[in-house]
Amino acid sequence: MIKLSKLTAIALALTMVVSLTACGGKTENTDKQSSNDTKASDTTEEKKQSDEKVKIKFLSLSSDENRNKIREDYIKVNVEKELPNVEVEYDLGGGGQDYANKLKTYNASGDMPDVWFSEQNLSLVVVEAGNALDLYPYVKETGFDKKFKMQEVIQPDKDGKLYCVQPGADQYFTPRLWYHKDIFAQHNIKVPQTFDELIEVCKTLKSKGIVPISIVGKDGWTPNLHMLQTMIMAEDPQVAVDLVNNKTDFSNPVVKNALARIQQLVQIGAFADGVTNIDYGPAVEMYTSGKAAMLAMFSWETTNLEAAAPDTDFIVWPSAKEGNDANASIQFWGAPLSGYLASAKTKNPEVAAKFAMFCATQDALFYNIEQKAPTALDTGVEISDMSPLLKKNLDQFSAAQLKIPSLWSAVFNTKMSAEIATLNSKLLTGQYSPDDYINAINPVWAENFK
């Protein structure tokens, strides 16, 4: 019995060992299978995450042809190739005051789009509100800054931060007085060299039932962006320089004369009826359709005007003072905060910064390829086959000894821009006097540099 019991115990022990071994083997296989399942799950999740696109919202100007072409033919076409993991939601903001109001609404709420295009005066508001991302670390990290022939375009602000990236095309844009050579020839009109001659040309055209000069009058756009400064420079460019450097104010007699010249153009009928309601697109179309003999517009429209109106040429803005060489000085667009900005609160700052730099590059490509225009950002595109008109424009720009930045884009703060837009709209009625204008703007100007 004892012997049997021992044998039974041994058998039971062996049975337990086998059982435990079998059980242990099953646990090991299960662990391996579980581990493999986990790895497969992790790989699937990583793949899923890599396939997911980062969504960003882009606020774009949509009222002028150039901005539309850049967005539709360059940004939309190339973003898939350059930034395949980015999905862009396009917010079309219109233009002029409509765009400004939309951006201001975003800024007031603090809920900004991830990336947007902005001019200097609007950008200042966003920067002051703390809603703009510092792009400088991303610019340096990617080497984007090394692509610029003009390093000042990509330099940080005095606070050491860079809030805007741009192609550096604006620095080459200047206001022109475009005209139809055919219309001038048909009516035996000579190109005016002085402001007095321009007045007489306008009177002649008006008598023929032709709008003499098409301008963007809505919100005072043309006087805002260049015409007031153009009229100042027509008499004495140094006064424009002094305004840029805060060494004079709007009480300067040259400024008052400039305002009076714009008022005179309104009063003789140089602009279309209802000019204060004419927006950018209709103003350009008025010229390209031949309804207007001249167009006051920046040189960024050169290629579009050539295509739509092949008889187009430009007049250097006529001098308003004997001895003032109109070719010797030139006004140029461009400012540190005119370009692409990103939101300080974006969920994906690196992606937003890359998209902003991408957009600036697409701008440069557009200007290099389609407008045959130079940019500070080197795209590697060699500009060739420049049309005679483009070459004439660039040659005259390059030859000017004095180049003065636009007050609107480079000097005016937000409050100044808003006030002067209101006053320029009044000026275009022809009923608002230069004295009233000066009395209203000088207190605002006194605060501009503070």
The pLDDT assigned to 44 comes to 45
Domain assignment present for residue 299? The answer is yes
How far is it, in rounded angstroms, from Cα 104 to Cα 112? 10
Domain assignment present for residue 385? The answer is no
User: Three-state SS string across 394-427, please?
Assistant: HHHHHHCCEEEECHHHHCCCHHHHHHHHHHHHHH
Q: Which of 367, 364, 391, 390 is nearest to 378 (CA)?
A: 364
Domain assignment present for residue 373? The answer is yes
Domain assignment present for residue 150? The answer is yes
Domain assignment present for residue 210? The answer is yes
The pLDDT assigned to 350 comes to 97
Specify whether 432 is located in the same domain as 326.
yes
State how beta strands 115-118 and 175-180 pair.
Answer: unpaired
Specify whether 244 is located in the same domain as 260.
yes
What are the structure tokens assigned to 50, written together?
A: 């890599």
**Beta strand residue intervals within 142-221, DSSP E:** 175-180, 211-214
Specify whether 322 is located in the same domain as 349.
no
Specify whether 268 is located in the same domain as 403.
yes
Specify whether 193 is located in the same domain as 305.
yes
Specify whether 371 is located in the same domain as 417.
no
CB 113 within 8 A of CB 343: yes
Q: Which of 281, 275, 285, 282 is nearest to 219 (CA)?
A: 275
Specify whether 136 is located in the same domain as 208.
no
Specify whether 60 is located in the same domain as 77.
yes
Specify whether 285 is located in the same domain as 353.
no
| Helix or strand (DSSP H, E) at 97 | helix 96-109
Specify whether 77 is located in the same domain as 156.
yes
Percent helix, percent strand, percent coil in the chain, to nearest 5: 55, 15, 30
Specify whether 441 is located in the same domain as 410.
yes
CB 323 within 8 A of CB 188: no
Q: What is the pLDDT along the chain (450 residues), one digit of tens a residue?
A: 333 333 333 333 333 333 333 334 444 444 545 555 544 445 444 444 456 899 999 999 998 889 999 999 999 999 999 999 999 999 999 988 899 999 999 999 999 999 999 988 789 899 999 999 999 999 999 999 999 988 888 989 878 999 999 999 888 899 999 999 999 999 999 999 999 999 999 999 999 999 999 999 999 999 999 999 999 999 999 999 999 999 999 999 999 999 999 999 999 999 999 999 999 999 999 999 999 999 999 999 999 999 999 999 999 999 999 999 999 999 998 888 889 999 999 999 999 999 999 999 999 999 999 988 899 999 999 988 889 999 999 999 999 999 999 999 889 988 999 999 999 999 999 999 999 999 999 999 999 998
Domain assignment present for residue 318? The answer is yes
Specify whether 210 is located in the same domain as 326.
yes
How far is it, in rounded angstroms, from Cα 154 to Cα 194? 39
Domain count, the chain: 2
The pLDDT assigned to 158 comes to 79
Domain assignment present for residue 190? The answer is yes
How far is it, in rounded angstroms, from Cα 333 to Cα 358? 22
Map tokens 């991303």 to a residue: 138
CATH code at position 153: 3.40.190.10
Domain assignment present for residue 7? The answer is no
Q: Which of 275, 400, 428, 266 is nearest to 330 (CA)?
A: 400
Global confidence as pTM: 0.72
Range of the domain at 83: 54-171+335-380
